[in-house]
Structure 1
Amino acid sequence: MEHLLHSLLHSLLRLHAAVTGMRHRPRDDRGDVPGWVMVTVMTAGLVAVLTAVAGPALQQMLTSALNSVK
């Protein structure tokens, strides 16, 4: 299975290079740091917005559920 995935990935990379006209570059294992920072910041922002919008309702639901157990 791993060999199949590796082969598929290699084929997709060759197709991408052919379509975009890019040459094959060695793989950079460091990743896209600015991209990860953006994803992290956007996730934190989404959690903050959801907490602000739905926080009181979620807190009331949790309190109600805990009180019903008592």
Structure 2
Amino acid sequence: MLHLVTSTSHRIAVRLRSSWGDTARDERGDVPGWVLITLMTAGLVVVIWALAGPALSQLFEQAISRVSGI
């Protein structure tokens, strides 16, 4: 019985390793795409922040002055 369990677990481990290896090889080619998406998103955040920053600061200062009563 122990031999059957050991043999079965060995076969499962081999299958998992081989399927994981296939997945890892398939995903490697897509890394530059994700890097590009990340950089473009960061660029958009910087541009939007530069355009909306002064308006957001003014809005925040108005809200604080209304709450504090200054």
Q: Classify the TM-score, shorter chain.
A: 0.5 to 0.7
Structure 2 residues without counterparts, runs of 5 or longer: 1-21
**1:43 equivalent in structure 2:** 41
Max radius of gyration: which structure? 2
CA RMSD of aligned residues (A): 1.8
Deviations 1:6-59 (A, max 9, x none): xxxxxxxxxxxxxxxxxxxx4335572111111111011101110111110011
- 1:54 to 2:52 alignment: yes
Q: Which has the higher contact order (CA 8 A, sep 6+)?
A: 1
Q: Which has the higher helix share?
A: 2
What is the number of residues matched between the two proteins? Answer: 45
Structure 1: tracts of 5 or more residues without a match: 1-25
* CA distance in structure 2 between the partners assigned to 1:33 and 1:42 by the alignment: 14
- Hey, what's the Cα distance between the residues in 2 that align with 1:34 and 1:68? 48
After TM superposition, the score normalised by the length of structure 1 is 0.54
Q: Quick one: percent identity of the two aligned structures?
A: 58
* Cα distance in 2 for residues equivalent to 1:31 and 1:68: 54
What letter is aligned with 1:50?
A: I
SS of the aligned residue for 2:34 comes to helix
Q: TM-score, normalised by structure 2?
A: 0.54
